[in-house]
Amino acid sequence: MFKRIDHIELLTAAPDRTVAFYKDALGFRERERMQVQTPNGPLDLVYLELGGTTVEVMCYPGKTIPPRTSEQRLGWQCLALEVQDMDGALAALKAKGVACAWGPMKRPDYARAEIRDPDGNPIELRQWY
């Protein structure tokens, strides 16, 4: 019945900054841009892909959106990306100005670390051994 996760929606007030981060720091490629009309006004959409996963970057032009707080909340907690080499991924991100928020935490079967996108959304990095 269910096949896979089709996409993840990411609402931002700074789409150019967000798209640049996901493309330049994380290696996503831009698939498509469009604007649709909604009851809340125009909505800009940018579809980014990485390894069969799509992130839909959404922005209501001209509207202010409060930044994400660091509090835990009900609902989605983070986006998780699998990496081949944790230390190499963290070094490459650091070279691009992306700091590690915590980790890496190394366990017998995996290593985990977390970074944040420009809006403060957590992105887990995971290397399976």
Number of separate domains in the chain = 2
Same domain, 87 and 57: no
Q: Residue 10's closest CA among 1, 19, 2?
A: 19
Asked whether residue 55 falls in the same domain as residue 4, the answer is: yes
Give the range of the structural domain holding residue 2, as residue numbers without chain letter: 1-62
CATH code of 19's domain: 3.10.180.10
Q: Read off the pTM.
A: 0.86
| CB-based contacts of 84, cutoff 8 Å, min separation 6 | 127
pLDDT, tens digit, 9 for 90 and up, residues 10-26:
999 899 999 999 999 99
Residue 53 lies in a domain: yes
67 occurs within a structural domain: no
Which run of H or of E encompasses 37? strand 29-38
Same domain for 41 and 5, yes or no, is: yes
pLDDT of residue 77: 78
Least confident of 4-8, 13-17, 73-77: 73-77
- Whether residues 41 and 87 share a domain: the answer is no
Confidence band, pLDDT 50/70/90 cuts, at residue 72: low
Q: Give the mean pLDDT of 83-96.
A: 97
Q: pLDDT band for 41, please (50, 70, 90 cuts).
A: confident
71 belongs to a structural domain: no
**Are residues 57 and 82 located together in one domain of the fold?**
no
Residue 68: band (very low, low, confident or very high) from pLDDT cuts 50, 70, 90 = low
| Residue type, position 115, single letter | I
Domain end (from 12, 32, 62): 62
Give the mean model confidence (pLDDT) for residues 88-113.
96
Greatest distance between any 2 Cα atoms in the chain: 50
Determine the Cα–Cα distance for residues 42 and 73; give it in Å rounded to an integer: 28
For 120, the token pair is 């403060």
Task: Work out the average pLDDT over 36-55.
Answer: 93
Average pLDDT, the chain: 91
**Residue 93 placed within a domain:** yes
One domain for residues 48 and 90: no
Work out whether strand 53-59 and strand 8-11 pair parallel, antiparallel, or are unpaired.
parallel
